[in-house]
Chain A
Amino acid sequence: MYPYYENEWGILPIEHNRRFNPGLNMATIRQAINETIERGIMRMPTPTRLRDLIRQIRAAKTQAEERAVVNRECAYIRSTFREEDSVWRCRNIAKLFYIHMLGYPAHFGQLECLKLIASPKFTDKRIGYLGAMLLLDERQDVHLLITNCLKNDLNSPTQFVVGLALCTLGAIASPEMARDLAGEIEKLMKSPNAYIRKKAVLCAFRIIRRVPELMEIFLPATRSLLNEKNHGILITGVTLITEMCENSPDTLNHFKKIVPNLVRILKNLILAGYSPEHDVSGVSDPFLQVKILRLLRILGRNDSESSEAMNDILAQVATNTETSKNVGNTILYETVLTIMDIKSEGGLRVLAVNILGRFLLNNDKNIRYIALHTLLKTVNVDISAVQRHRSTILECLKDPDVTIRKRAMELSFALVNAQNIRAMAKELLIFLEKADPEFKAQCSSSMVLSAERYAPTIRWHLDTLLSILIAAGNYVRDDVTSSTIQMISSSPSNEQAYIAVKFWEAIQETQDNQPLTQVGVWCIGESGDQMLYNSEQEFAGEKPDETAIIELYSKLLWSNQVNTVSKQYALVSLAKLSTRFKSGQNDIKDIIDTFGSHLNIDLQQRGVEFSQLFGQYSHLRESLLEKMPAMTINKINGTNSNGDTMEDELPRITVEKTINNIVKSNTDTLLDLLGNGDDIISPPIQTTLTTTAVPASNLLDLLGDIDISAPAMPIMNNNNNNIITSPVTMSILDDNENTKISESLFNMNGSGGAQTGNYNDLGLDFLSTPTTQTSAKITTAFDKNDLLITFATTRKSDYVEVVMTTTNNSLDTLEQYLFQAAVPKSFQLQMMSPTGSVLLPGGIVSQEMRVKSNSSSAVLRMKLRISFVCNGNPILEQAEVSNFPDV
């Protein structure tokens, strides 16, 4: 099994060999006889041996057979537990571990494990502690019992018993256990016995991990650890100091003075000759080297003096390490991270990026992954250095390994700029076309962003957007659809006509690509006349006539492959075409009329309404269906919140209002209503119709009819946005337009992002207003990757109230959002429950925290840990906040 078998390793000395039978002596024989007699009296059959049970279970041919063996044995084991059989407890428990590993329940062995631990025999303790680590979990009441056992064994004269207790504590320490045993561990950290000492140091590490406040008791015993020669103590010591430094900035400063010690240890490791004990393929103790390099990184971060002290040794490690084996690369990887993170010399940084460049060309997949991963981290530091490796990175997009592809994609997007956008977009489009569905959404959204930022020409931009829609198909997120429409609407009209032709050609090829269909019909609806009657337009194939286009619409509208949203787009677009086309109005009317009896209520309503525009109100049609005015582009990478056009997230307004006061501006509402059908973000409404000589009562009728027939919609979902948006919408209508209209009608027609987009913005304003109204001082705690966390700090009677508000400025929905905070020991932190755990794009979650100070002089700092799931990927961010206002 093992490729690196070394022959020279001898077997253990005979007296230490566990397979060696020491033979018989009188004591053991007597004991065996006594125990056998004892068993005879108790009439207990000898239990199956552990290895025999394993054999039996392995011999089972079916799952059922295996279950039968396991059940029989479990029943037997339970019965021995009841009989308090202490002779075979150890064996029975060991069998239970095997059964547990197979996935069967074994919790009934927990208490028996404790009995084993309490036994004076080493074998019993060894198995008992193993069981404690395997079977107990944190929430068990038995933890209190085990804490007592641990306390006893930590004081045992036998080093191996102490070792077992330490090992167990290290694996399962709960906060309570940590508090109870911290004192014992601190004593053992000073033990002269290296075997015990190194384990105690790691226990201290775990204790601090669980209960950071306990750090201070360990501080005095920690410093001397670095003066030891023993590598076990050195490596555990470095691990402990690393944890302490990450725990508090004060401790970090305290340990700055050990930089020379660390440098010396590292230097000795590199320069010392071959030492067989710690050598791994020619590298001296890579485990220790890596740990030291990591600690140096933490100590040198943002500290020029410490960084200065380690420049030389880092250069030495970077140049002297052998790179033919994994060990060497391990150390180089850690060195590069350290060089890039501290305030190192320019030359050293060049060296580091060159190492990554070499990694990128390495045959080993693991090393290539590391290179991509690290380049992504350093891309902000030195983008031009990373640019040099662009072609290699693009090559990695084609790698069969999904882990590598993902990293390469992220890195590629980080490298896009105005100079290389054409070439990069070409490569990324090829990638997008072949990418797994899981990548398509993320990749297409990122491409839209890049294109928006760096597009050289409008035509190129439009072409790229079209290609993205074709390549990513139904996997694109809705923001891609809406931002594409925005982009087209704000282009010059000849470009609109150009892209309409392109879309026309694309739609004919495929019909089950919903986003493409939606954008396509929108384009044709808006600029169908220019597309057909502007002689400059060139068609790849035959130039279509009106009939061909209407035929396609009728196909789309009745196709099973086209979803309702796309049909909504198509219907509105068709209505618009009736004013663009020279003939064909009758065909269009026929199609629209058939929708008057469509099963889908929304489509039916559109059908009925548009039919009216062909009959009684045909004189209105021309002006109602005018071309959309150019939309103001909402930068989707900005801090806005639109772009999410999930249908079910529309604000549902339930309040019905009677129409009793129609003023002229109602026509705006109708216009807006028709605009909404286009599923776009409406610009501020242009009052183009107010001058039309329309009897207001007619409009009233039109609106009124529909209002009466429209059932009130219940509130569909309860997320924050909606609750907040509803009242805002109302007030806007009331205050700004002084109008009362049927809002349910308004609602009925809204199908796309129009409302969500605009009202979300309003909703955000609404939400932020009360926050600023209070005397709270607002500080930004975290602003990274489109995630903005602000703190509103207010002084209350005996505590400080900090309201955390997280805004999701990205285009992704963040799920399982969890905000955690920790404060120094001199403060007490109480966290209230958050308002939610899901952040829609533009969404907000807030959480109240109450901070009490134990001492007056202490300065408030906070460590933040933010975790969430984005596109199925878990993401963890950490930050430290110290800029609290003085309140």
Chain B
Amino acid sequence: MMQFMLLFSRQGKLRLQKWYVAHADKVKKKITRELISTILARKPKMCSFLEYKESKIVYKRYASLYFCCAIEQEDNELLTLEIIHRYVELLDKYFGSVCELDIIFNFEKAYFILDELLVGGEIQETSKKNVLKAIAAQDVLQEDETPQGFFEDHGLG
């Protein structure tokens, strides 16, 4: 089971955090800080795995963003790389050639997509098409109830 997923930039800025295990806020911050600094210190040619506390860390860099997951001892590291890749593919299809700015400005969408891929730290859907279909349908639901008025846009804006 995946314990958490973090997205952060090359500058060490957190862009997304998804926790599947309960920790106090302080602990989450500490883990995040430690992992970001460890991973950013590693050279590009090094392998994608780290040992951290009781879990295995799998990370991969896509352009300016690092995707970092913590998994349990019995989990398959290579498969986790595939899950990360699948998530990147989904983001890419949703945003259309996604870049870091898309994720910064539409972070809530990035969370929604992740939630259609994983539930409780386990993969729930292996078809890209199904994930995107579910997201699109929910976006429609959301738009239907958001009036596009004269005076200003509603919703999140």
Contacts and interface: CB of A to CB of B under 8 A. Distances in A.
A31 interface: yes
Contacts of B149: 28-29, 31-33, 35-36
B54 A286 contact: no
Interface string A736-769: 0000000000000000000000000000000000
Interface string B66-109: 00000001101111011100101101110011111000110110
B54 A366 contact: no
Nearest to B42: A401
A366 B98 contact: no
B157 A370 contact: no
A133 B19 CA distance: 8
Give the secondary structure class of B's interface. mixed
Given A122-B142, A123-B146, A235-B126, A203 B119 contact: yes
B66 to A, nearest CB: 12
B37 interface: no
A732 B16 CA distance: 64
Contacts of A29: 147, 149-150
Contacts of A203: 119-120
Contacts of B123: 235, 239, 287
Given A49-B156, A91-B157, A232 B127 contact: yes
B120 A160 contact: no
A183 B16 CA distance: 33
Nearest to B114: A167
Interface residues of A, number: 102
B142 A369 contact: no
A3 to B, nearest CB: 8
Interface string B37-51: 000001101111111
Given A97-B107, A236-B122, A290-B79, A2 B97 contact: yes
A519 interface: no
A54 B105 contact: yes
B140 A11 contact: no
Given A1-B62, A368-B47, A369-B49, A98 B107 contact: yes
A401 B29 CA distance: 26
Given A122-B141, A122-B142, A171 B19 contact: yes
Interface string B1-45: 100000000000011111110111100010000000000001101
Contacts of B25: 107, 137
Contacts, number: 255
Contacts of B115: 133, 167
A403 B57 CA distance: 11
A171 B148 contact: no
A677 interface: no
Interface centre among B46, B79, B100, B152, by most A CB within 10 Å? B79
Interface stretch (A15-23, A682-690, A849-857): A15-23
B157 to A, nearest CB: 3
Nearest to B157: A49
A103 B30 CA distance: 11
Contact of B139 (A16, A52, A107, A195): A16
Contact of A326 (B78, B93, B104): B78
B143 A11 contact: no
Nearest to B7: A101
Given A28-B149, A239-B122, A330 B78 contact: yes
A842 B136 CA distance: 61
Given A24-B148, A28-B148, A32-B147, A278 B126 contact: yes
Contacts of A9: 93
B155 A287 contact: no
Contact of A123 (B23, B127, B145): B145
A51 interface: yes
B78 A195 contact: no
Contact of B47 (A4, A101, A133, A404): A404
A4 to B, nearest CB: 7
Contacts of A231: 125-127
Given A4-B89, A32-B149, A365-B47, A91 B155 contact: yes
Contacts of A330: 76, 78-79, 81-82
Given A91-B157, A202-B122, A874-B54, A1 B99 contact: yes
Contact of A126 (B23, B112, B122, B125): B112
Contacts of A272: none
A507 B152 CA distance: 82
A54 B104 contact: yes
A876 B73 contact: yes
Contacts of A693: none
B79 A365 contact: no
A121 B136 contact: no
Contacts of B96: 11
A138 B22 contact: yes
Contacts of A4: 89, 92
A209 interface: yes
A285 interface: yes
B107 A15 contact: no
B120 to A, nearest CB: 3
Contacts of A138: 22
A711 B132 CA distance: 78
Interface string A112-133: 0000000001110011001001
B119 A170 contact: yes
B119 to A, nearest CB: 4
Q: For the complex of A and B, list the 3 residue pairs with the smallest distance between their C-beta atoms, beginning with the closest.
A: A32-B149, A49-B157, A170-B120
Interface of B: 1, 14-20, 22-25, 29, 42-43, 45-54, 62-65, 73-74, 76-79, 81-83, 86, 88-89, 91-93, 96-100, 104-105, 107-108, 111-112, 115, 119-130, 132, 134, 136-143, 145-157
21 contacts: A2-B98, A18-B142, A22-B143, A31-B149, A32-B147, A33-B150, A35-B154, A90-B156, A170-B119, A171-B121, A173-B120, A231-B127, A232-B124, A239-B122, A278-B127, A286-B79, A287-B83, A287-B126, A369-B49, A406-B51, A874-B54
Interface of A: 1-2, 4-5, 9, 11-12, 15-16, 18, 21-24, 27-29, 31-33, 35-36, 46, 49-52, 54, 58, 90-91, 94, 97-98, 101-103, 107, 121-123, 126-127, 130, 133-134, 137-139, 158, 160, 163, 166-167, 170-174, 195, 198-199, 202-203, 205-206, 209, 231-232, 235-236, 239, 277-278, 280, 285-288, 290, 294, 326-327, 329-330, 333-334, 365-370, 400-401, 403-404, 406, 867, 873-874, 876
